[in-house]
Structure 1
Amino acid sequence: MKKREFVIGSKVVNDASECFVIAEVGHNHQGSVEMCKEIFKAARTSGASAVKLQKRDNKSLYTASFYDTPYNSENAYGPTYGLHREALEFGEAEFRELKQYAEELGLVFFSTAFDFKSADFLANLDIPCYKLASGDITNIPLLQYVAKIGKPMIISTGASTMEDVQRAHDAIMPINPQLAILQCTASYPCGFGEMDLNVIKSYRDAFLEATIGLSSHDNGIAMAVAAYVLGARVIEKHFTLNRAMKGTDHAFSLEPQGMSKMVRDLSRLRTALGSSEKQMFDSEKAARGKMGKKIVAARPLPAGHLLQEGDLAFKSPGDGLAPYYAFELYGKVLKTSLQEDEEVYFEHVEARSSELVAG
């Protein structure tokens, strides 16, 4: 079996790696290149690995009637849904400027492609990775079209069934094995009872060569840490400068402080998971001595006394014979008298099994 590994530019993501954290900017930039740059800068300061935009060719993506549907939302940037989307769309010049800026910051820059024309648009920019949204989980023609471009692919799986995900996986992998599959719930925000983080384990069992992750729409940072423990190595969170800003995605996005804490906790977690072998650290030895127990006489005991339960006590500090040896002392005769709280050793008794080793 091939190693489960996903490579984006210089970033290598596998089971042993740090988490690849995507700050999903989407259209939180409100159509402003300068605001988008501020978001990128904040994402870099917060420790994100990558920033992601969205690209739509709105005329080809929507039916004419849907494009022209009146859009009266308080978050609208145009009188119709199509014009609202157009107001938030960046063109080639903006994308190139933002790609260069992200790279200068040391961030991976990529985008979601919502349609064929957008996929071609992004290919022309030579972006290092493609995201496919949950809405395209059944769009096998688009998935395969993007797969043939030959760049790593990340797919979200909100509002889908395991059958949908399996179909998408099977369509992509023969063409492009560089695939990451993200557990996702297409609710905005997502209630904790609908996150189904255990699906991450199901995906790892079902898709042995795909990298697994989480696209999380919850209002918090703890679920990303839980996802990493379950095996997720890609975490995508919507990101904004201020959740109160105009736009539908800001309310469930992380602000810089939240992103910083999430990245911090993911880093701490990877360190804290440590080894699967139980070990005692040097830093614990003082505590073991102070809080551990040793075998002492429970009361004054004369020489010739036959040791029985009740004759021995177990007290701190633990700098003597460990309590588990008590069972080897019972039934043996003392060679010497002992005072209360005096430490008891095998040399104090007449008979000692040749198999015993003093602790």
Structure 2
Amino acid sequence: MPHTPIKIFGKTIGEGYPTFFIAEIGLNHNGSMDIAKQLIDVAVNAGCDAVKFQKRDIESLSVRSFLDAPDTRFPEFGSTYREVREFVEFSEEEFTELKRYAQEKEIPFFVTPFDIPSAQMLARIGVDAYKSASHNLTHIPLLKHLIAQQKPMIVSTGMAMLEELDLAVNLLKESNIPFVLLHCVSSYPTAPELINLKTIDFLRERYQVPVGYSGHEMLETESLPTLSAVARGACVVERHITLDHHMVGFDHKISLTPNELQKLMGQIRSIDKMMGTGLKTLLPEERIKRDQQRVSLVSSRKISAGEIIQPDMVCFKGPGTGFACYDLDQIVGKSAITDIDEDTLFQAEMFN
């Protein structure tokens, strides 16, 4: 049974509608408002449907011993996990400015809150939808808080066991808010053999809701998994974007550069057009070829008026503008009312 399409940001999401593409800026702004705005511009120029950021309240993120543990991944950001995370976080005022900038550029803006204080902040600045990250699928208090906002939700499903996913989906369905599930593998980057695109079909059939794809694939695959997901029916695609793969930071190496994003968007829009309606019909563009290349019923010898048509008087040749071959039984046994030359297409006016 097909799912019911939903609306997010004024656009319809579901089977038969254009793929909704989310440009995930995430933390690839590296704490810079200038870079964040440049990435919004990149998404706008590529024709993306929305931009998304991430927000974490550091004290709500982890226990203090974990926050204050050494972190040597990005010395430019800090020397502890807390310092690294604080370096890339925006304030409420900064998010308010980014929302204003996105509105100016006429692209929908939303954010993944990783904790309840962050969700409360987003409610204050006003967002039209929420994203729930994979690792918060089992954070039921946060999920219930987001559901209570009565906004559309996009929910990633990485790391989930089936019973956990059932629980989250039941909560969402009971709320009657529109939502989309994203098939996601929380491995960065995701090796091709782990992507498991058939999960898109499984989620759609099990839950009867729109299903999309959040990709973290290896750059070497050249977005083939994303394109395959769209062809398989993913109605939403989320991909990280960056200004440069070589920038210091969390997700730059699994992200799309401006040129890669432009190319992928063009390919996705082409697939959208190729998907069609799913109905098998004779297209106007096919009719000429049909007439030229199909085979008709043709006289195999001269037939005199009054003769009864026998099977051996009929052969099968082009063009396809006469009786179709499946009409053979309709003319065998009929009497010709006019002389019919050899090698002539049979026509209705030749018979009673």
Question: Smaller-chain TM-score range?
Answer: 0.7 to 0.9
Q: Distance in 2 between the 1:321 and 1:109 partners?
A: 60
Q: Distance in 2 between the 1:131 and 1:69 partners?
A: 29
**Is this contact kept in 2: 1:144–1:175, CA < 8 A?**
no
User: Could you tell me which residue of structure 1 aligns to residue 212 of structure 2?
Assistant: 213
Is the counterpart of residue 105 in structure 1 residue 108 in structure 2? Answer: no
Deviation (angstroms), 1:203: 2.1
Deviation (angstroms), 1:38: 0.9
Residue 174 of structure 1: SS of its match in structure 2? helix
User: Could you tell me which residue of structure 2 aligns to residue 252 of structure 1?
Assistant: 254
Alpha carbons of structure 1 residues 305 and 181: separation in structure 2 relative to 1, 3 Å: closer
Deviation (angstroms), 1:16: 4.3
User: Could you tell me which residue of structure 1 aligns to residue 77 of structure 2?
Assistant: 77
Residue 249 of structure 2: SS of its match in structure 1? coil
User: Could you tell me which residue of structure 1 aligns to residue 165 of structure 2?
Assistant: 165
User: Could you tell me which residue of structure 2 aligns to residue 272 of structure 1?
Assistant: 274
Q: Distance in 2 between the 1:284 and 1:4 partners?
A: 33
**Is this contact kept in 2: 1:222–1:262, CA < 8 A?**
no
Residues 35-76 of structure 1 show CA distances to partners (whole Å, capped at 9, x for unaligned) of: 111111010111111111111112221122221222222686
**Is this contact kept in 2: 1:68–1:81, CA < 8 A?**
yes
Is the counterpart of residue 95 in structure 1 residue 98 in structure 2? Answer: no
Q: Distance in 2 between the 1:302 and 1:237 partners?
A: 70
Alpha carbons of structure 1 residues 12 and 290: separation in structure 2 relative to 1, 3 Å: closer
- Whichever residue aligns with residue 29 of structure 2, its letter is H
Taking the TM superposition and a 5 Å limit, the aligned residue runs for 1:149-298 are: 149-175=149-175, 177-208=177-208, 210-218=209-217, 219=219, 220-298=222-300
| Residue from 334, 337, 341 that aligns with 1:338 | 341
**Is this contact kept in 1: 2:23–2:241, CA < 8 A?**
yes
Residues 233-291 of structure 1 show CA distances to partners (whole Å, capped at 9, x for unaligned) of: 22111112222322231222122333333333433333333334322222222111222
**Is this contact kept in 2: 1:43–1:51, CA < 8 A?**
yes
Alpha carbons of structure 1 residues 18 and 333: separation in structure 2 relative to 1, 3 Å: closer
Q: Distance in 1 between the 2:11 and 2:348 partners?
A: 59
Across the aligned residues of Structure 1 and Structure 2, the Cα RMSD in angstroms comes to 2.9
Q: Distance in 2 between the 1:7 and 1:328 partners?
A: 53
**Is this contact kept in 2: 1:181–1:213, CA < 8 A?**
yes
The number of residues matched between the two structures is: 346
User: Could you tell me which residue of structure 1 aligns to residue 326 of structure 2?
Assistant: 324
Structure 2: tracts of 5 or more residues without a match = none
Q: Distance in 1 between the 2:344 and 2:171 partners?
A: 75
Deviation (angstroms), 1:91: 1.2
Q: Work out the percentage of aligned pairs sharing the same amino acid.
A: 33
Residues 283-326 of structure 1 show CA distances to partners (whole Å, capped at 9, x for unaligned) of: 2221112222233345x5575697445x5443333233323334
Residue 110 of structure 2: SS of its match in structure 1? strand
**Is this contact kept in 1: 2:3–2:210, CA < 8 A?**
no
**Is this contact kept in 2: 1:296–1:314, CA < 8 A?**
yes
Q: Distance in 1 between the 2:345 and 2:84 partners?
A: 82
Structure 1: tracts of 5 or more residues without a match = 355-359
Is the counterpart of residue 53 in structure 1 residue 53 in structure 2? Answer: yes
- Whichever residue aligns with residue 171 of structure 1, its letter is L
**Is this contact kept in 1: 2:56–2:89, CA < 8 A?**
yes
Deviation (angstroms), 1:330: 5.4
Q: Distance in 1 between the 2:51 and 2:59 partners?
A: 26
- Whichever residue aligns with residue 278 of structure 1, its letter is K
Q: Distance in 1 between the 2:175 and 2:331 partners?
A: 70
User: Could you tell me which residue of structure 2 aligns to residue 357 of structure 1?
Assistant: none
**Is this contact kept in 1: 2:308–2:332, CA < 8 A?**
no
**Is this contact kept in 2: 1:48–1:259, CA < 8 A?**
no
Q: Distance in 1 between the 2:121 and 2:204 partners?
A: 32
Alpha carbons of structure 1 residues 170 and 319: separation in structure 2 relative to 1, 3 Å: closer
Bigger mean CA deviation after superposition, 314-323 or 153-162: 314-323
Bigger mean CA deviation after superposition, 150-159 or 316-325: 316-325
Alpha carbons of structure 1 residues 59 and 79: separation in structure 2 relative to 1, 3 Å: same
Alpha carbons of structure 1 residues 346 and 96: separation in structure 2 relative to 1, 3 Å: closer
**Is this contact kept in 2: 1:67–1:80, CA < 8 A?**
yes
Q: Distance in 1 between the 2:70 and 2:119 partners?
A: 28
- Whichever residue aligns with residue 213 of structure 1, its letter is G
**Is this contact kept in 2: 1:140–1:171, CA < 8 A?**
no
- Whichever residue aligns with residue 59 of structure 2, its letter is K
**Is this contact kept in 2: 1:47–1:259, CA < 8 A?**
no
